[in-house]
């Protein structure tokens, strides 16, 4: 790709970072991933140029190679535009590029180089997605599992992420936080309770966590955070 990293910044504390290359927003990723890849302002951005791929060059097939390189350049540009909006899983990015009409070989080549450069990683994507959910919009394990699966994260990584997330975050507490933000009073009607119960189910919380949340509500527990 070429170009230098000119800025790495976030719109607000705790949100993913945007990496700017030659002044243009190029990728969104977590601070942990930026640190792991050793990205910093002033350094050269990892090359994704098709010409840098092994096996290119030579006198035979130069015209076909040129056509292939041109398509891969367009795929690369489209992929980076998508990744500048938000992080994505490998299969999700492949699907989006295929829907844009790019050929399978070009998509596979570009996605492979993104993975080799450490810029596309399903485990990192799943971890970042789960952390955002826990911080901004708490959900239960069923909902988190569904969201990651719908974004084409491999099943093994989905299950690893769900297990780790709810080992670190108590589901009962998350359900209480979600309920306390919606409930307008500790004394609620049967109809309102059914509505709130459905809301928590749609958020993916289990029946035990929901029951515990309503018990805290009826007991007048008002110690839930207000920033969730």
Contact in structure between 228 and 177 (CB atoms under 8 Å): yes
Contacts of 192 (CB under 8 A, 6+ apart): 183
Neighbours of 118 (CB within 10 A): 15
Q: What is the pLDDT of residues 107-166, one digit of tens each?
A: 999 999 999 988 899 999 999 899 989 988 899 999 999 999 999 999 999 999 999 999
Tell me the β-bridge partners of 44. 4
Distance CA(163)–CA(23), nearest Å, equals 39
- For residue 83, give the nearest of 121, 130, 38 by alpha carbon: 121
Please say if the pLDDT value at position 48 is more than 80.
no
Choose which CATH entry (1.20.1440, 3.40.50, 2.60.40, 1.10.10) describes domain 5-118.
1.10.10
Q: What is the pLDDT of residues 190-209, one digit of tens each?
A: 899 999 999 999 999 999 99
CATH class of 121-169: mainly alpha
Contact in structure between 69 and 50 (CB atoms under 8 Å): yes
Distance CA(178)–CA(186), nearest Å, equals 14
- For residue 181, give the nearest of 218, 226, 126 by alpha carbon: 226
**What predicted TM-score, i.e. pTM, was given to this entire model?**
0.74
Q: What is the pLDDT of residues 63-84, one digit of tens each?
A: 444 556 788 889 988 998 888 8
pLDDT band for 51, please (50, 70, 90 cuts). low
CATH 1.10.10 residue window(s) in the chain: 5-118, 121-169
């Amino acid at each position: 790709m070429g170009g230098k990293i000119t800025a790495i910044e976030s719109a607000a504390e705790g949100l993913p970072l945007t990496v700017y290359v030659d002044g243009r927003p190029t990728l969104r990723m977590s601070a942990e991933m930026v640190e792991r890849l050793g990205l910093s302002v002033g350094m050269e951005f990892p090359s994704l140029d098709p010409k840098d791929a092994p096996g290119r060059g030579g006198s035979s097939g130069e015209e076909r190679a040129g056509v292939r390189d041109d398509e891969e350049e367009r795929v690369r540009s489209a992929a980076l535009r998508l990744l500048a909006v938000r992080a994505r899983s490998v299969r999700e990015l492949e699907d989006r590029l295929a829907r844009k009409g790019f050929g399978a070989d070009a998509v596979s080549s570009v996605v492979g180089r993104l993975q080799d450069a450490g810029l596309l990683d399903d485990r990192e994507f799943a971890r970042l997605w789960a952390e955002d959910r826990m911080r901004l919009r708490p959900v239960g394990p069923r909902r988190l599992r569904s969201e990651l699966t719908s974004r084409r994260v491999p099943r093994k990584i989905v299950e690893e992420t769900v297990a780790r997330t709810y080992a670190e975050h108590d589901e009962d507490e998350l359900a209480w936080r979600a309920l306390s933000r919606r409930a307008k009073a500790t004394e609620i009607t049967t109809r309102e309770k059914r509505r709130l119960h459905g809301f928590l189910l749609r958020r993916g919380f289990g029946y035990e966590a929901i029951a515990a949340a309503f018990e805290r509500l009826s007991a007048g527990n008002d110690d839930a955070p207000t920033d969730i």
